[in-house]
Amino acid sequence: MTVSDKILPLLPRLWRFALTLTGNNQDAEDLVQATCVRALERASQFATDTHLDRWLLVMMRRIWINKIRKDVVIKRKGFLLDADAARFVDGNAVAERNIYLSEVLNLIHNLPEAQREALLLVYGEELSYREAANFLEIPEGTLMSRLARGRVTLKQQLETGFNTQPDKSNRQTGEN
Amino acid sequence: MQEPKFSDEQLVAYCDDQCSDLERRQIEYAAVSDPELKRRIENIAAIGINDLKDAFHSELQQAPLKRLEEFLVNQAPTQYLPPKKTFGKLAIAAGLAATLFVGVVGGGMTTWKIQSGTEIENWRESVAVYQMLYSKDTLANIKVDKSSLGEMRERLRKQSGLNIEFFNLEKFGLTFKRGQILEFKGSRLVQLAYLSVTGQPVAICFLAKNQNEMPMKIEFRHGLNIVHWVKNGNPAMIIGDIPNQTLTKIVSKILEG
């Protein structure tokens, strides 16, 4: 089985993480493609006794931080990207539970980047606190703090009402 | 103001069932008589773990899987696929890359192709789009086995029908890395890849297609310098982000040879 065969089933998770990082469909897709290209190029460096999914996610995050984030932030600054709207599901077309989940997702995507990725790694990728902290190269306490703040913010936004098409021009990418 | 007895970190661990039994009992005991602590726990736990998990899980189904799979499959069979230098170029290349069929000539013959979204008429444009995806990393790790160069050259000659030579360009600061067979609109195309001492990828390409003789000319495409010519009826080019002056010197040497 080739590396690309092994990557294929991981594509949805790669895309989800890319979307968590970029907050935009097109940028997420481009980030997945960049990660695939890098992974294939460096396939010989992949240690078979490690998890391919973690290897890819770490690689994706490095590409995002080192090469792409600045461009995306500049591009996004001051205006709302049309492409963002495509991510949000049509509330009339889905069941109540799905509406709620899509609202939760919208709120998550409006959190600062550091909180978004902490939530995704722990609740989406289901990493332990320690694994997620190692992944992000931060102390475990910092990770837990981000989780706590993220969840409190989600609750507050749920209570105060929120816009199902959040203004991405205010979307935060820095530490919080 | 009195410091809270339990930190937010402890409380999120409690909500996620990640704390010790002792800590759990302490928090639960304290919350009975501490409405503020109870409120803080409720704030964190308002959107439960299962809701968060389900929300993230539902997102998986929104992935544009068909496009991503197509992209991966089309890149896959080579481990030497050129990385994309910048995000902007990446997007361009994904949509624009020409119909180049590529075979790496090494120990075994591997072929793959870059699908074309947009038709590209000019072979030099096609090569330029392909070349701009190269970075130092693309070539840096390729180890050249000098003992197999003769065999590699013979394969290239046989597959392209061109009398290919591997030019020694060390005096120009270029190290030979590999030869590949590509295909442009049904014509075989040989790419000889070099890496400069400053980490710039450079390629010399020959197209197995008859054209009228032409002395060298200079072009600039996608941020890359090009010198191209036609000799013995075969179009050729050298491309890279190095000065035209160097490129023309290299071409002069090739044409002399």
- B121 vs A13, higher pLDDT: A13
Do the interacting molecules here have an ipTM over 0.85? no
Interface probe with A: pick from B10, B20, B37, B47, most Cβ of A within 10 Å: B47
What is the band of A84 on the pLDDT scale with cuts at 50, 70, 90?
very low
Model confidence at B80: pLDDT above 70: no
Mean pLDDT, rounded, for A138-167: 80
Interface probe with B: pick from A1, A7, A15, A120, most Cβ of B within 10 Å: A15
Min Cα distance B52 → chain A (Å) is 6
CA distances for B61 relative to B1, B65, B154, angstroms: 48, 9, 49
Model confidence at B236: pLDDT above 70: yes
Query: Is B213 at the interface with chain A, CB within 8 A?
Result: no
**CB within 8 Å of chain A, chain B residues 150-179:** none
Segment of A48-52, A69-73, B79-83 carrying the highest mean pLDDT: A48-52
Closest of B5, B9, B6, B25 to residue A122, by C-alpha: B9
Q: What is the pLDDT of residue A78?
A: 34
Segment of A108-122, B92-106, B212-226 carrying the highest mean pLDDT: A108-122
The segment(s) of chain A belonging to CATH 1.10.1740.10 are 1-87
Distance in angstroms (rounded) separating the CA atoms of residues B153 and A57: 39
Decide if domain A1-87 falls under CATH 1.10.3720.10.
Answer: no
- Do residue A41 and residue B68 have CB atoms under 8 angstroms apart? no
Q: What is the pLDDT of residue A161?
A: 59
Q: Which segment of A93-102, B31-40, B141-150, B224-233 scores lowest on mean pLDDT?
A: A93-102
- Do residue A158 and residue B83 have CB atoms under 8 angstroms apart? no
E strand segments, B146-223: 174-184, 187-196, 201-207, 214-221
- A125 vs B198, higher pLDDT: A125
Domain extent listing, chain B: 8-60, 66-256
- Do residue B59 and residue A151 have CB atoms under 8 angstroms apart? no
Mean pLDDT, rounded, for B141-155: 80
Q: What is the pLDDT of residue B133?
A: 66
Mean pLDDT, rounded, for B33-61: 91
Query: Is B9 at the interface with chain A, CB within 8 A?
Result: yes
**CB within 8 Å of chain A, chain B residues 59-98:** 59-65, 67-69, 71-73, 75-84, 86-88, 90-91, 94
In this complex, which of B53, B76, B79 lies closest to A44 when CB atoms are compared?
B79
What is the band of B169 on the pLDDT scale with cuts at 50, 70, 90?
very high
- A1 vs B63, higher pLDDT: B63
Q: Which segment of A62-76, B69-83, B167-181 scores lowest on mean pLDDT?
A: B69-83
Query: Is A71 at the interface with chain B, CB within 8 A?
Result: yes
Residues 6+ apart with CB under 8 A from A103: A158, A162, A164
Q: Are A108 and A147 in contact (CB under 8 A)?
A: no
Helix H or strand E segment including A44? none
pLDDT, one tens digit per residue, over B58-77 is 889 889 988 898 888 877 54
Closest of B101, B111, B105 to residue B142, by C-alpha: B105
Q: What is the pLDDT of residue A1?
A: 66
Q: What is the pLDDT of residue B126?
A: 77
Q: What is the pLDDT of residue B256?
A: 85
In this complex, which of A36, A126, A158 lies closest to B46 when CB atoms are compared?
A158
Interface probe with A: pick from B52, B75, B86, B110, most Cβ of A within 10 Å: B52
Q: What is the pLDDT of residue B96?
A: 41
A90-165 CATH: 1.10.10.10
What is the band of B5 on the pLDDT scale with cuts at 50, 70, 90?
confident
Q: Which segment of A75-79, B65-69, B121-125 scores lowest on mean pLDDT?
A: A75-79
Tokens representing residue B7 in the block? 């930190």
- A94 vs B10, higher pLDDT: B10
Distance in angstroms (rounded) separating the CA atoms of residues B64 and B75: 17
- B216 vs B126, higher pLDDT: B216
In this complex, which of A4, A12, A72 lies closest to B72 when CB atoms are compared?
A4
Q: Are B167 and B257 in contact (CB under 8 A)?
A: yes
pLDDT, one tens digit per residue, over A98-109 is 777 878 888 898
Q: What is the pLDDT of residue B92?
A: 41
- Do residue A30 and residue B64 have CB atoms under 8 angstroms apart? no
Min Cα distance B40 → chain A (Å) is 8
Query: Is A162 at the interface with chain B, CB within 8 A?
Result: no
Query: Is B218 at the interface with chain A, CB within 8 A?
Result: no
Which of chain B's residues have a Cβ under 8 Å away from the Cβ of A89? 62
How would DSSP label each residue in B109-165? EEEEEEPPSS----HHHHHHHHHTT--HHHHHTPPP-GGGHHHHHHHHHHHH-S---
Query: Is A75 at the interface with chain B, CB within 8 A?
Result: no
In this complex, which of B43, B55, B77 lies closest to A155 when CB atoms are compared?
B43
